Structure 1
């Protein structure tokens, strides 16, 4: 990748494949051993466009940023809120659990006639229990620790029926439980890859509005971890990443042959499969949904930025609470 005029130019074997004006870029993510010219690195940093370097499997390596931006007063308000984050954590979890429940209910609407009575009942029971957990989080005056426990309970319920949402003929593409660092089966490999992309978008959105992506509310602070970006992605994971993974598998865009098992048991996407995922990711981000708080349509790719704006407005005192993003 190199700079030509005010454009980013991508070449493969000396042949130009893509040309994008710098002002059209919100962020650049590089997978694997890609040569990035010093002139392009400097231009991206100067334009406030973050360059993120990942290895071929999507594992984070480095980031290149320009000068630190943001309102110091906003960041101070963020750090003060970290000492009493209950209200923000409550909103984040209500959004996440509601969207997990929406994914399951969508599956019942789409495929309910194909399920036998036992499977259908198991999914319905989970949706009811998720609704109870959501109301408990929303209405009870709980500590952050107790709300984290409720989040874990909801996640276990949601993933306990996740395999019923997969409609692939490949036995290898079944859900056996969450595994990461490294993912030990194809579905987990796909989810981890999509979560990496979503984390990047959330981190870029937070930095764009001037927030510190490392100081979170739901996720505990840890050196090197973008805790606030992980917070922001929680409510988006079920509908942006999980549903996209299901679509790629159920539409047969990804099959068992698109994954490989490395030494030690780690499962990774083949290069061509990564291209398929990235293409679908960009297409998915162009889909429009009505923002439940603003009442206006916006592309899915803009939702992390809008939610980061909502969070910054709440921290400044412009709105009483952080409004979660609900998928309908």
Structure 2
């Protein structure tokens, strides 16, 4: 059990003999050894646990994501001990101020994302010939932005964000055509999501972001220090960077969930205009997600390990300079 989902109402969580013990109505319903858990997601209304549970999870290296019970919005992430190699973070911080590095990093992210958006729509044309025109037009719009992002080697981050935005407008023109009319999916919206598809997109991106934070933290990187998404108060900007190329991959998975009938309109409810996954819907969503997520997680681990190696090589000489200057 790599991921433990706690989404039942009135659930109490305790630590018993190196395991998480789950209690419902005063009776133990399940026991899960800590060594089997890589990540925990807590979304249940009135889920009760004390600080000792979070402490044991962190000590065991289990990252914990706290979601709002209804909307599935990230409230907090609790991580285990940080990597001890200061050279990595020192170089990472310096690179956030290196405009050439940030431009090259951003161009790689944006072009990878646009290529995957294009590939998704191209694949969809073979399955949905009835909406081929919308998909073809969307791909043409992405092609224009992708060509400009590839050809303009001097494009800075604001310019790349503009190209990413124009591609997104074209992309969602095609992507929305893939869903049934009763889902009322007309484009990307959030806070609150105003249709079932947007509710799933928001949750999927939140889960990808959580895995990106976990991968960065595990590699010794600082999740807050991004190169494309600039560092900002309270935002894990590096995680925002890392998930950009993965968004179209999640988009395709969500389309598959709806087209196969795994997710249906009756799996959703509304609360003050926001569409929310109900209990049955969450069960289908998370079960499918755990089958889908290993590949994106592996990509995140590999990408973070690669970046950390580069930062370590750059940062070790600087760290030695600090050590040489120490006077006690």
**TM superposition score category, shorter chain reference:** 0.7 to 0.9
SS at match of 1:178: coil
For residues 269 and 316 of structure 1, what CA distance do their matches in structure 2 show? 42
For residues 30 and 121 of structure 2, what CA distance do their matches in structure 1 show? 38
SS at match of 1:236: helix
1:220 aligns with 2:234: no
Cα deviation, 1:101-150, whole Å, max 9, x if unaligned, reads: 111111112233xx1xxx31331232233233223212312111101111
Residues 199/17 of structure 1: CA separation in 2 closer, same or farther (3 Å cut): farther
* Pick aligned residue for 1:125 from 107, 124, 137: 137
The alignment of Structure 1 onto Structure 2 pairs a total of residues equal to 296
Alignment of 1:2-151 (within 5 A): 2-14=14-26, 18-32=30-44, 33-56=46-69, 57-83=71-97, 84=99, 85-112=102-129, 115=130, 119-140=131-152, 141-151=154-164
Residues 176/224 of structure 1: CA separation in 2 closer, same or farther (3 Å cut): same
* Pick aligned residue for 1:189 from 176, 199, 202: 199
Structure 2 portions without partners, runs of 5+: 1-12, 315-328
1:173 aligns with 2:183: yes
Deviation of the 1:11 alpha carbon: 4.1
For residues 223 and 130 of structure 1, what CA distance do their matches in structure 2 show? 32
Cα deviation, 1:172-198, whole Å, max 9, x if unaligned, reads: 313211111111122111111111111
For residues 21 and 119 of structure 2, what CA distance do their matches in structure 1 show? 40
Deviation of the 1:278 alpha carbon: 0.8
Residues 19/234 of structure 1: CA separation in 2 closer, same or farther (3 Å cut): farther
Q: TM-score, normalised by structure 2?
A: 0.83
Q: Report if the CA contact (8 A) 1:45-1:65 is conserved.
A: yes
For residues 306 and 25 of structure 1, what CA distance do their matches in structure 2 show? 20
Q: Report if the CA contact (8 A) 2:41-2:64 is conserved.
A: yes
Structure 1 portions without partners, runs of 5+: 287-298, 319-328
Q: Report if the CA contact (8 A) 2:14-2:49 is conserved.
A: yes
Look at both structures and tell me which one has the larger radius of gyration over its CA atoms: 2
1:208 aligns with 2:222: no
SS at match of 1:214: coil
Question: Higher helix share goes to which structure?
Answer: 2
1:155 aligns with 2:168: yes
Give the match for residue 323 of structure 1.
none
Q: TM-score, normalised by structure 1?
A: 0.83
**Which stretch has the larger CA shift, 171-180 or 62-71?**
62-71
Give the match for residue 321 of structure 1.
none
Give the match for residue 247 of structure 2.
237
Cα deviation, 1:272-328, whole Å, max 9, x if unaligned, reads: 211211111111124xxxxxxxxxxxx44322212222222343459xxxxxxxxxx
Residues 111/49 of structure 1: CA separation in 2 closer, same or farther (3 Å cut): same
Deviation of the 1:23 alpha carbon: 3.0
* Pick aligned residue for 2:280 from 263, 272, 287: 272
Deviation of the 1:207 alpha carbon: 0.6
For residues 164 and 30 of structure 2, what CA distance do their matches in structure 1 show? 42
Give the match for residue 289 of structure 1.
none
Give the match for residue 324 of structure 1.
none
For residues 206 and 94 of structure 1, what CA distance do their matches in structure 2 show? 22
* Pick aligned residue for 1:252 from 236, 261, 267: 261
